Amino acid sequence: MKILVTGGAGFIGSHVVELFIEAGFEVVIVDDLSTGRVSNIHPKASFYQLDIRSPRLEEVFSVERPDYVSHHAAQMDVRRSVVDPLFDADVNIRGSLNLLDCARATEVKKFIYISSGGAAYGEPLYLPCDEEHPINPICPYGASKHTVEHYLYMYSLNYGQNYAVLRYPNVYGPRQDPHGEAGVVAIFIGKMLNEEPITINGTGEQERDFVHVKDCARANMLAISAENGIYNLGSGKGTSVNEIFRLLRQITGYPNPASHGSAKLGETLKIYLDATKAKKTMGWQPTLSLLEGLSQTVAYHQAFERTL
């Protein structure tokens, strides 16, 4: 069996690639390396440095003939989406449609699409959010990621394309770049290990659903045999940014307090996800506790990120 992973040189995608190779799959990576790293490319995977919007993507599908697609490549920066919504839509919507057309033309058996559980729901009407919660994104990123879910339904209805949507929570863990588009965990760890000052956006009481990258990668494997549909991934509980700071300070021995700046435009205050459907249908649930996962992530950054 062969799977094509877009964004496979990135933080989450590289873990997905690793898992499928360990399971005996042939893996093809498509990544333009705009945020991915050459060092993340698995030596046993075939690699194409390519933008998902490129017309050349059709050639990759024609040559490789993947059985499955796991689509992680995206414009994923909420702040950039607010500043440049046209670019966000071009990558996340037009790029995904290019992939879907290639998948349809080569009769891909299952299209696994990575959506956003943190940005698509907007400000929750209730918590934790299940898949039936209204979709009211407050940033272009959330809107663009959700839009592709509608296209997947249409491609299923009109062309018989099987699919699974995985709405990710806030994913953290090894290989998350502490610079650029990084999440709060990687940013905090990078600054703490270098004893640099840390600024928390807003009050720090904003809550997120933090799940380790290996748990999210495992959901991709389970999604191959899952029925068509949308699945939240999450722990079902929120953790504040202030609490993340406190735990990482405890793990790293960081000596300084944090300062507070202005809140980010387009950022949801509190969001965490009900993953009951994923548990009942796919047998998925998080396996790593937050403290254990953060400790592993700090150890990774101490061993690798500080030498880059």
- 231 close to 165: Cβ distance less than 8 angstroms: yes
Q: Which residue from 201, 222, 224 is spatially nearest to 275, judged by alpha carbons?
A: 222
Range 81-88 contact pairs with CB under 8 angstroms and sequence separation of 24 or more: 81/139, 81/140, 81/141, 81/144, 81/266, 82/139, 82/140, 82/265, 82/266, 85/140, 85/144, 88/140, 88/141, 88/144
Q: What is the pLDDT of residue 114?
A: 98
Give me the torsion for CA of 288, 292, 295, 301, rounded to 10°. Answer: -10
| CA–CA distance, 262 with 79 (Å, rounded to integer) | 13
- The full set of domains in the chain, from first to last, is 2-171+212-235+276-282 (3.40.50.720), 173-207+238-273+289-307 (3.90.25.10)
Is 48 a catalytic site residue? Answer: no
At 124, list the tokens. 């929750």
Q: What is the pLDDT of residue 182?
A: 65
Q: What is the pLDDT of residue 267?
A: 78
- 90 close to 132: Cβ distance less than 8 angstroms: no
Q: What is the pLDDT of residue 177?
A: 85
Divide the 308 residues of the chain into consecutive groups of 10 and give the mean pLDDT of each group: 98 98 98 96 98 98 98 93 96 98 98 94 95 95 97 98 97 88 88 96 95 98 97 97 98 96 84 97 97 97 74
Helices 140-159 and 95-105: angle between axes, nearest 10 degrees: 20
Evaluated on CA atoms 88, 269, 237, 121, the torsion sign reads negative
Instruction: Name the active-site residue from 141, 163, 168, 254.
Output: 141
Q: What is the pLDDT of residue 307?
A: 47
- 257 close to 251: Cβ distance less than 8 angstroms: no
Q: What is the pLDDT of residue 287?
A: 97
Evaluated on CA atoms 295, 296, 300, 301, the torsion sign reads negative
| CA–CA distance, 26 with 39 (Å, rounded to integer) | 19
| CA–CA distance, 181 with 12 (Å, rounded to integer) | 13
